[in-house]
């Protein structure tokens, strides 16, 4: 049976005390609602329909692959579904209801829920859990045969119902016609005056339809995020899950508590991740690398056998056998070709560093195309910005740039060129030439002694 996801993500998340809607908050660099959408897709749902409301201008741009519906008044989870009903017009498959603030749900669990639902020929299947403390959750009420009769919200529970330990995770699978065809039966006659989606189970059970359930094995999957504390707790769970998998796949970690890897990152085996390393976004790291300590790479592609120590990298491409750091800042558009070296206190932006070329110390290289086997002396800088435009520097193969060379762009240094230390290069240099731009040095013999004598004489006169 075809399955589509319906993700409830319109709530404000008041307890986050944030200007940002709750589902746009990130866990390991990925917005909460994206975790849920991606889990639904990975579980085989053909579409994700997301209901947004609070801060929707911040949430909608995260959901370009989703069907969007709006809930502008928060009248409860039943109302949320009503707001999306039109987007399922004519659909006969099943609808998996997920919450935008429950990012740890596994695709395999969603899959199992759909399979159990189909196997039981159910109209609705609820994913239940038995948390240590059921306070605040809807309780699963069963009839004398043990079938699900309905769900009662905490605020509507009798004292006996409060003792029920099986709770609603907030995740369901419904047959679309059963769900959508009965929405008009939901009412607001309850403690919170809301349309409860949970009432749908009793409505279906009372009309003789099969309502079934599946207990989640790992309660962590149903952790909802309502506060910053819960966000940190869920992040810990996600971090452990991802790092355990990475270690199982052959990645070494000195301390997995101190490594944060996003869910869409790939790391090759025999790579070592050292403490305070964060790999975020669509980053991919090859095999045999040493990354960290103290390194953050966002949307970077790194080849094999690279070493990155104390590096911040954003949208860079590094080929094989690159060493970078300690303390390098590699900005978008940086392309490091095989065997290149970027050393300490070096910043690179929108530049290609050719095969085997080295930028070892204290340099800024921006808007530069550098050939192969170039050596950049300490403190050399491409002066790429004239206050209005960014200009290009080109450096040919095998060139040797003396320390403290200023390359005032636009400028082209040919192949096999050499610059004298401290030269300010404002004109192109032809292939094979030495360029030297500095005033002649003057040595004044005996000056120091004469100077000291003069100072002592003045001291005597003053006393």
Q: How far is CA 394 from CA 295, 328, 368, 399, in A?
A: 29, 21, 6, 11
Of the candidates 399, 461, 401, the residue with the CA atom closest to the CA atom of residue 437:
401
Among the listed ranges 173-181, 195-203, 338-346, 358-366, the one in contact with ligand UD1 (CB under 6 A) is 195-203
Is residue 231 part of the contact set for ligand UD1 (CB under 6 A)?
Answer: no
Distance CA 323, CA 359 (A): 11
Shortest CB 102 distance to ligand UD1, Å = 7
Is residue 21 part of the contact set for ligand UD1 (CB under 6 A)?
Answer: no
Out of 168, 243, 380, 412, name the contact with ligand UD1 by CB under 6 A.
168
Q: How far is CA 205 from CA 27, 316, 450, in A?
A: 38, 56, 106
Shortest CB 169 distance to ligand UD1, Å = 6
Q: Is 209 exposed, middle or buried (0-12, 13-18, 19+ CB in 10 A)?
A: middle
Q: Using CB under 6 A as the criterion, what x/- string covers residues 126-165 for binding ligand UD1?
A: -----------xx------------x-x------------
C-alpha angle 28-30-32 in degrees, rounded to nearest 5: 105
Q: Which structure tokens are listed for 170?
A: 């907030």
Nearest-10 crossing angle of helices 32-42, 107-119: 50
Is residue 77 part of the contact set for ligand UD1 (CB under 6 A)?
Answer: yes
Out of 55, 103, 150, 224, name the contact with ligand UD1 by CB under 6 A.
224
Q: Which is nearer to ligand UD1, 52 or 413 (CB)?
A: 52
Distance CA 52, CA 59 (A): 7
Among the listed ranges 98-106, 311-319, 365-373, 392-400, the one in contact with ligand UD1 (CB under 6 A) is 98-106
Residue 361 annotated among the catalytic residues of the structure: yes
**Backbone torsions φ then ψ of 227, nearest 5 degrees:** -140, 170
Q: Which is nearer to ligand UD1, 138 or 313 (CB)?
A: 138
Q: Which structure tokens are listed for 114?
A: 């759909």
Q: Which is nearer to ligand UD1, 190 or 284 (CB)?
A: 190
Contacts to ligand UD1 from residues 297-356, by CB under 6 A = none
Is residue 31 part of the contact set for ligand UD1 (CB under 6 A)?
Answer: no
98: Cβ contacts below 8 Å, ≥ 6 apart: 5, 6, 7, 8, 36, 39, 40, 105, 110, 171
Shortest CB 171 distance to ligand UD1, Å = 8
Is residue 101 part of the contact set for ligand UD1 (CB under 6 A)?
Answer: yes
Is residue 376 part of the contact set for ligand UD1 (CB under 6 A)?
Answer: no
Is residue 76 part of the contact set for ligand UD1 (CB under 6 A)?
Answer: yes
Distance CA 437, CA 61 (A): 52
Is residue 8 part of the contact set for ligand UD1 (CB under 6 A)?
Answer: yes
Q: Which is nearer to ligand UD1, 99 or 300 (CB)?
A: 99
Is residue 198 part of the contact set for ligand UD1 (CB under 6 A)?
Answer: yes
- Give residues in contact with ligand UD1 (CB under 6 A): 8-11, 51, 71, 74-77, 79-80, 99-101, 137-138, 151, 153, 167-170, 196-198, 224
User: Which residues are catalytically annotated?
Assistant: 361
């Amino acid at each position: 049976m075809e399955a589509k996801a319906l993700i409830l993500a319109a709530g404000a998340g008041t307890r986050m005390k944030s200007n940002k809607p709750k589902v746009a908050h990130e866990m390991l660099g990925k917005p909460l609602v994206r975790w849920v959408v991606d889990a639904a897709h990975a579980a085989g749902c053909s579409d994700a329909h997301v209901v947004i409301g609070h801060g929707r201008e911040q949430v909608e741009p995260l959901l370009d692959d989703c069907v969007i519906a709006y809930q502008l008044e928060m009248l409860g989870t039943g109302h949320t579904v009503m707001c999306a009903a039109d987007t399922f017009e004519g659909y006969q498959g099943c609808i998996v209801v997920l919450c935008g603030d429950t990012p740890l749900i596994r695709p395999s669990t969603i899959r199992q829920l759909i399979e159990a639902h189909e196997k039981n020929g159910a109209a609705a299947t609820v994913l239940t859990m038995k948390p240590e403390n059921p306070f605040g959750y809807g309780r699963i009420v069963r009839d004398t045969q043990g079938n699900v009769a309905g769900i009662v919200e905490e605020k509507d529970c009798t004292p006996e119902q409060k003792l029920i330990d099986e709770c609603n995770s907030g995740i369901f699978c419904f047959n679309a016609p059963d769900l959508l065809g009965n929405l008009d039966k939901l009412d607001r006659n309850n403690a919170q005056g809301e349309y409860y989606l949970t009432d749908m189970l009793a409505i279906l059970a009372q009309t003789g339809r099969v309502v079934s359930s599946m207990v989640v094995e790992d309660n962590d999957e149903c952790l909802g995020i309502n506060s910053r504390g819960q966000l940190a707790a869920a992040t810990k769970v996600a971090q452990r899950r991802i790092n355990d998998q990475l270690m199982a796949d052959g990645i070494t970690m000195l301390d997995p508590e101190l490594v944060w890897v996003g869910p869409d990152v790939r790391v090759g085996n025999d790579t070592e991740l050292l403490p305070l390393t964060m790999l975020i976004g669509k980053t991919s790291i090859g095999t045999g690398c040493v990354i960290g300590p103290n390194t953050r790479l966002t949307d970077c592609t790194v080849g094999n056998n690279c070493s990155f120590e104390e590096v911040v990298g954003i949208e860079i491409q590094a080929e094989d056998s690159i060493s970078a750091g300690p303390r390098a800042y590699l900005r978008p558009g940086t392309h490091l070709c095989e065997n290149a070296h970027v050393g300490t206190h070096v910043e690179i932006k929108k530049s290609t560093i050719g095969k085997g070329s080295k930028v070892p110390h204290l340099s800024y290289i921006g808007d530069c195309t550098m050939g192969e086997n170039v050596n950049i002396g300490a403190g050399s800088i491409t002066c790429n910005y004239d206050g209005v435009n960014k200009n290009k520097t080109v450096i040919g193969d095998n060139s040797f740039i003396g320390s403290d060379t200023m390359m005032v762009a636009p400028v082209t240094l040919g192949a096999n060129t050499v610059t004298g230390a401290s030269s300010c290069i404002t004109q192109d240099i032809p292939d094979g030439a030495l360029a030297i731009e500095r005033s002649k040095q003057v040595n004044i013999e005996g000056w120091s002694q004469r100077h000291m004598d003069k100072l002592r004489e003045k001291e005597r006169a003053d006393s």
